[in-house]
Amino acid sequence: MNTLHFTDTSFKKEVLESDLPVLVDFWAGWCGPCKTIAPFIDELAKEYAGRIKVGKIDVDNNSKIATQYGVMSIPTVIFFKKGKVMNQLVGAVSKLDLKHKIEENL
């Protein structure tokens, strides 16, 4: 499994201080559209292993980070590079949309 799981406590070290670009999927267990994109997230984590970090953060259990980044709707996917937000996608986006954004941020 290449998809990581971030928390409020691990976020700074795992995401903001990462040498690689990071794709973060803000999700929750009860969210239907989150379940729709979950397989895409996992596939992209495998496909881009070693080039980017891919992880999820459960907004129900880690609301501090979600609030800090203004996540109002889920799923929200935010791309970080060198600790900065590069791009953000909201809603059940396609795998192709995610792939395009990854390529833009490499």
Among the listed residues 23, 34, 41, 59, the single catalytic one is 34
User: Is 36 annotated as catalytic?
Assistant: no
DSSP sequence for the chain:
---EEE-TTTHIIIIIT-SS-EEEEEE-TT-HHHHHHHHHHHHHHHHTBTTBEEEEEETTT-HHHHHHTT--SSSEEEEEETTEEEEEEESS--HHHHHHHHHHH-
Among the listed residues 22, 31, 71, 98, the single catalytic one is 31
What is the rounded distance in angstroms from the CA atom of residue 27 to the CA atom of residue 37? 10
User: Is 34 annotated as catalytic?
Assistant: yes
Residues that are catalytic? 31, 34
